[in-house]
């Protein structure tokens, strides 16, 4: 059994969650905007359902991470990747482009229930598998001042749906059905089960 993996993610929250679960990892860094790796284009395809989108992107990240392991002649540990998106009113809601976009997203989520979808994928030795965590989150009604203060805090950026449940936005949540760590970006139960199927000791 392997005691270590490669994590193909820039997310500090995923690093924190893996450390919380006692899973040892080394980072594989993909290039960020505006020079992202073409192999992991996160642009939704026309008419693509949110579940299909998030699974496709997570699997693409894991597969590309495994290619990088080969190119760089790194240790042949399994590569773990993940992707999180929101679905509201049938639409995919990703990360905000700017402060105004973040305010618009949060105004839409205010007083409503949305779904948080996190797909986790692992690639190793020619095998690629994935799991999906689906959670429902209900927000209280937010007024414009609450939204503006939250966006001004800086927490809204680089997060799907323009919020992080582990931060100040936790106060917006009136109900959560599903996985708290999945909403954060890495569902630990599903992740550990998937890694064990790859003979990772966790």
d(CA 34, CA 166): 28
3-state secondary structure of 123: strand
Q: How far is CA 168 from CA 74, 81, 128, 147, 155, in A?
A: 38, 26, 36, 11, 8
d(CA 155, CA 165): 10
To which H or E segment does residue 197 belong?
helix 188-197
- Cβ distance 40 to 82 under 8 Å? no
- Cβ distance 126 to 79 under 8 Å? no
d(CA 25, CA 3): 9
- DSSP string for residues in 29-68: PPP-TTS--GGG--PPPTT--HHHHHHHHHHHHHHHHHHH
Catalytic, 143? Answer no
User: Which is catalytic among the residues 37, 41, 52, 83?
Assistant: 83
Catalytic residues: 83
């Amino acid at each position: 059994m392997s005691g270590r993996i490669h994590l193909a993610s820039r997310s500090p929250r995923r690093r924190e969650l893996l450390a919380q679960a006692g899973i040892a990892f080394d980072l594989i860094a993909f290039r960020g905007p505006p020079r992202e790796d073409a192999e992991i284009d996160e642009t939704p395809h026309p008419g693509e359902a949110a579940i299909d989108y998030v699974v496709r992107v997570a699997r693409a990240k894991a597969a590309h991470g495994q290619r990088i392991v080969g190119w760089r002649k790194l240790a042949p540990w399994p590569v773990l990747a993940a992707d999180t998106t929101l679905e509201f009113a049938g639409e995919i809601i990703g990360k905000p482009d700017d402060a105004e976009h973040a305010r618009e997203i949060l105004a839409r989520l205010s007083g409503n229930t949305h779904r948080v979808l996190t797909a986790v994928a692992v690639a190793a030795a020619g095998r690629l598998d994935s799991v999906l965590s689906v959670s429902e989150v209900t927000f209280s009604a937010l007024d414009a001042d609450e939204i503006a203060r939250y966006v001004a805090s800086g927490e809204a950026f680089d997060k799907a749906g323009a919020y992080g449940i582990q931060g100040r936005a936790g106060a917006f949540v009136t109900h959560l059905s599903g996985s708290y760590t999945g909403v954060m970006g890495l569902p630990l139960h599903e992740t550990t089960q998937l890694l064990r199927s790859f003979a990772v000791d966790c």
